[in-house]
Amino acid sequence: MRYSFVDEAKIFVQSGNGGHGSGSFRRERCVEFGGPDGGNGGDGGDIILVADGNINTLVAYRYHKHFRAKGGESGRGRCMFGAKGADITMRVPVGTEIFDSESGELMATLTYHGETNVLIKGGQGGIGNVFFKSSVNQAPRKAMPGFEGCAKWVVFKMKLLANVGLLGKPNAGKSSFLRSTTNSKAKVANYQFTTLSPNLGVIEVDKNKCDGFVVADLPGLIEGASQGRGLGMDFLRHVEKCEMLLHMIDISGKTEEQIFEDYAMIHHELNEYDELLREKDEVIALNKIDICYDKDFLNTIKTRFEKEKNKKVFLISTASKEGLKDLIFYLDSMIKRKKLEKEEQIEKKPYRPKSRYEK
């Protein structure tokens, strides 16, 4: 499965205006004393956000950028209230953050599937004259207009891009891994920076259960990226948005020390950018074992990584697909475990409808 990648979108949203209250009076042939009977106006429509775990990018908002909710209807005679304006529901990926475009203030964060947030409430409907009548004012001609809705530009930013991010130097085999395990057609070539923007693909673990996870092929990282070399910050900000990392290392034609220097360089750049990146779960994949015939050398590298770095290590080949099955099942088990831990942390509260006067 292939996606067009969009991780940030600027959107104009506007909630509906409230309907006006009615200043009507009863005028009926058989009613001796009529009196006021104007109803309230309806509330304007809200702008509602819903986190959808089946959406992985903000591509739906690449061209459709204006969202305006319907206004409430005005009140009418015979104490008829106006209808509420229709809401607009916008579905966004899990992990989306919403910022005010002008102030930069964080307005909302959607962290789990199905989470709902009313981003902007519609304007409240005006009060009709029937609610102003009293013993000293039996024929009020006063009716309140509806309140206007709110309009503003907001910025959607994806906090989480994919379940697994492919980390490594250029030509480590990240795009080849994506092509071997998904239906993605990521570009593969024998030169650096073949990948200029993230490519997403879905690894299907069990097709009968529609079970799988999303993998992001990230641009390659070189020394000095934290200071802007290569793709620099564009690469590193994508690493932040991945739930866990698969660090791919090309071992073909390299000595043991060169392999560990490549690993150390990548982590040095990550730490220079943000020390919190070291807290992400990481799995190491030693790639291109199909052209390395020294099995003792491979086992030595694997054992050293597991002892010194305390990481799970897999020996794979994206060309011959050797070792990919075990790696995929291990990644899937880690993702499911993390998902269960998140669900246990979410405090589920019973639904209680809010009053229209409650802030």
CATH code where residue 52 lies: 2.70.210.12
Q: Are 94 and 114 in contact (CB under 8 A)?
A: no
Rounded to whole angstroms, what are the CA distances from 354 to 35, 351, 358? 33, 9, 6
Check whether residue 180 and residue 286 sit in a common domain. yes
Among 125, 160, 195, the domain boundary falls at 160
Check whether residue 196 and residue 282 sit in a common domain. yes
* 359 in a structural domain: no
Among 127, 160, 193, the domain boundary falls at 160
Check whether residue 156 and residue 187 sit in a common domain. no
Check whether residue 180 and residue 54 sit in a common domain. no
Q: Based on the structure, what is the number of domains in the chain?
A: 2
Among 104, 126, 160, the domain boundary falls at 160
pLDDT at position 87, please?
93
pLDDT at position 104, please?
86
Rounded to whole angstroms, what are the CA distances from 355 to 79, 117, 359? 21, 16, 8
* 77 in a structural domain: yes
Packing angle between helix 174-181 and helix 324-345, nearest 10 degrees? 90
Supply φ then ψ for residue 208, to 5 degrees: -65, -35
Tokens linked to 57:
């990018």
Q: What is the pLDDT along the chain (359 residues), one digit of tens a residue?
A: 333 445 788 999 999 999 999 988 887 777 777 788 899 999 999 999 998 877 877 878 888 899 999 999 999 888 889 999 999 999 998 888 899 988 888 888 887 788 899 999 999 999 998 888 888 888 888 888 999 999 999 999 877 667 888 888 877 888 888 888 877 655 554 544 455 556 777 787 766 555 678 888 877 666 554 444 545 455 666 777 788 889 888 888 788 888 888 888 888 877 777 777 777 888 999 988 888 778 888 888 888 888 888 888 999 888 888 888 899 899 988 888 887 777 666 555 554 455 554 54
Strand order in the sheet with 47-52: 88-93, 47-52, 116-120
pLDDT at position 121, please?
92
pLDDT at position 4, please?
43
* 352 in a structural domain: no
* 145 in a structural domain: yes
Check whether residue 73 and residue 155 sit in a common domain. yes
Check whether residue 151 and residue 182 sit in a common domain. no
* 350 in a structural domain: no
* 187 in a structural domain: yes
Check whether residue 170 and residue 132 sit in a common domain. no
Adjacent-strand bridge partners of 88 = 47
Count of residues making up the chain: 359
Check whether residue 127 and residue 181 sit in a common domain. no
Amino acid letter for position 356: R
pLDDT at position 52, please?
86
Rounded to whole angstroms, what are the CA distances from 22 to 84, 119, 169? 15, 29, 69
* 194 in a structural domain: yes
CATH code of the domain in which 308 resides = 3.40.50.300
pLDDT at position 2, please?
37
Q: Name every residue whose Cβ is closer than 8 Å to that of residue 70 and which is 6 or more positions away in sequence.
A: 16, 44, 45, 85, 86
In 3D, which of 136, 96, 139 has the Cα closest to residue 115? 96
In 3D, which of 91, 88, 106, 122 has the Cα closest to residue 155? 106
* 354 in a structural domain: no
Check whether residue 175 and residue 153 sit in a common domain. no
Residue numbers of the domain that contains 201: 162-344
CA distance 4 to 277: 26
CA distance 195 to 180: 16
Adjacent-strand bridge partners of 34 = none
Check whether residue 127 and residue 179 sit in a common domain. no
pLDDT at position 351, please?
47
Check whether residue 279 and residue 314 sit in a common domain. yes
CA angle, 265 then 266 then 272, to 5°: 90
Check whether residue 55 and residue 120 sit in a common domain. yes
Q: Are 144 and 74 in contact (CB under 8 A)?
A: no
